[in-house]
Amino acid sequence: MTSSTGSDRVINRRVLLIAAGALSSTALLGCSTRATNDASATGEFEFREPTPTATVIPEERRAPAPAFSGELLDGTGFESSSLAGDVAVINFWGSWCVPCRVETPEFQAVHADVADRGVEFLGIDVKDQRQMAVAFVERLGVAYPSVFDPRGEVAMAFRGFPANVVPSTILLDRAGRVAAVYTGQVRGEDLRAAVELLLAEDRA
């Protein structure tokens, strides 16, 4: 009789554990569904997967980028609204990031070629020290501004964006919609190709 009671207790414990697991999974699914519904309700960008290099997202599938603000490396304020009406290249980097040392000069070369054609470049310096970041851009001759964002707040504004992947790059079209998200190092020629695709789009 005692043996049977012990067996029943083991079975009951297993049933309770399975039930608890099911409730936990349901709760997680509920959170996930709620986040998706919020994104669709606002119509704002939500990251799902990176864009193949040198390509852009079809216009009908683009979503508006979130508004963000911050402080540039030189201490002046920045508002994302200043990018309105132009194609924008937003690059997340850090002075500690080895691929960034290769990528940044190539980005600067593209910037120099297209800056007068309605293309804005903006760096987002993450997980860094300001003096190290300033030395980095000065050493590489970077002419475009960078927001100093040591806590990664700008990345968090882009829903679901993989903030820990540095370097990574987001392109915005003239309407302020996310047109591409590249995770990892981007070659200058691939960036140039994507920018040209956005510049070729009808301004209307």
Between CA 33 and CA 157 the distance in angstroms is: 19
Q: Which residue has the higher pLDDT, 39 or 165?
A: 165
DSSP H or E run through 154: helix 153-157
pTM above 0.85, yes or no: no
* pLDDT of amino acid 187: 98
- For residue 115, give the DSSP letter: G
pLDDT of residue 26: 29
pLDDT digits (tens, 9 = 90+) for 142-184: 999 999 999 999 999 999 999 889 999 999 999 999 999 999 9
Helix (H), strand (E) at residue 140? helix 130-140
